[in-house]
Amino acid sequence: MKSFLSLVLLLLLAQVSLAGEPAIEELRARGPAGLQILMIQYADEIRRHVENPSAPADEQWERISAALDSVAQQKNSYMAGLYWYTDLEAARKASAETGKPILSLRLLGKLTDEFSCANSRFFRTVLYSNADVSEYLREHYVLHWQSVRPVPKVTIDYGDGRKLERTLTGNSIHYILDSSARPIDAIPGLYGPSAFRSALVKAEAMFKSIAGKPERLKTSLLNGYYINQSRKITVDWNIDTAKIGGQPPAGPVVKKGTDNQALRIAPLAITKALTETSILRGMASTTEGLEKITDEAAWIKIAQLHSSTAILDERSIALIKRQNPALSDAELARLLRKFQELIALDTVRNEYLLHSKLYTWLMRDPDRNDVHKFNEKVYASLFLTPSSDPWLGLFSTDVYTALDNGGVVR
């Protein structure tokens, strides 16, 4: 009876939520269930705007969309249906209660803002709106986001009434955390939908394998996971380099006719002869080698090998259509083709260059168990946007601009 009354209450709240803030706050406080009730209540309107991106955004739809975003704490949440905690302690509690890992997004700006950093905007379109990814996130993860700092915006005034508004710099990262908010894995920047989902599946399996284990064993299992994943990245890169006709550096040799699966498995066995120091040295040198050896033309060719990971589904395309109503069919097709090429390029670069480096840090960095301190290092040394630089690299006293105060308005 109590659960039935709660359901009735939520339905009533959903019906009146467009009229007042208290109802929104109540639905928000009830967590994912509150958002789900709202999604059910307005399912017909949501379906109409998903299936028909050119449907007019009338006043009623604007209210529905705003209510959904407020409860979900994500812009364009009608496409994703994902509930995001904005308090890590609340996410930790939900993780402990549900037995699910936490996916913690760190970004510039806010996920609720249209002008959050570029990658987080792409996440909303490419990942969270994707039917397979959003379903997996809903069923398997507790979601949390936290703003690292405001995102810098620039307005270009053409002087004739036209203005162009954009964000500058900034990157985003997804951390997979256990119920104590300890990092298990980290997915840097933008990945294609299928690659992102695969990373989530692997990290969730690792979360389950260490759950309830003694701390020493947990650390050992995690270190083994980082070593194996780093070696897999090296093998995958060698395979890709061979496929595009390049010459891999010293290491696993890829020969024509070699079984890829066997090649992937062989380097993943951790032998007792290797010390932790030599392993770490190898992991670090591998990342440096990939960065130095692979040029722009090679990255583009490698990205083409992984074009299938960047394919957008109908829901993502529907959102892009809604955001670009003036484009012709031909223009939209060109935009989608170019965007998917860039997603594939981002995916391979982020995996081979950034993810491999993160595995080394997760294994040895003194702050690896503190997601806040670890994230400081990521933004300072990986994304090169340290919190100590208030200008995010966009202003320097060493550069003369011929403007008063260097163009800075205080």
DSSP-assigned letters across all residues of 227-282: HHHHHHHHHHHHHHHHHTT----SSSPP-TT--HHHHHHGGG---TTS-HHHHHHH
Could you tell me if 303 and 341 are in contact, meaning their C-beta atoms sit under 8 angstroms apart? Answer: yes
pLDDT in tens, the chain (410 residues): 445 445 545 555 555 455 556 688 889 999 999 999 899 999 999 999 999 988 888 888 999 999 999 999 999 999 999 999 999 999 999 999 999 999 999 999 999 999 899 899 999 999 999 999 999 999 999 999 999 999 888 788 888 888 888 777 778 999 999 999 999 999 999 999 999 999 999 999 999 999 999 999 999 999 999 999 999 999 999 899 999 987 655 544 444 444 443 333 333 333 333 334 444 444 444 555 555 556 788 999 999 999 999 999 999 999 999 999 999 999 999 999 999 999 999 999 999 999 999 999 999 999 999 999 999 999 999 998 888 888 777 777 777 777 777 777 77
The two tokens of residue 116 are 């959050």
Amino acid at site 72 = A
What's this model's pTM, rounded to 2 decimal places?
A: 0.85
Which one, of 139, 83, 141, lies nearest residue 111 by Cα? 83
Is domain 73-382 classified as CATH 3.40.30.10? Answer: yes
Tokens 């208290």 -> residue: 22
List C-alpha distances in Å: 295 to 246, 290, 305. 11, 9, 16
Portions of the chain given CATH number 3.40.30.10? 73-382
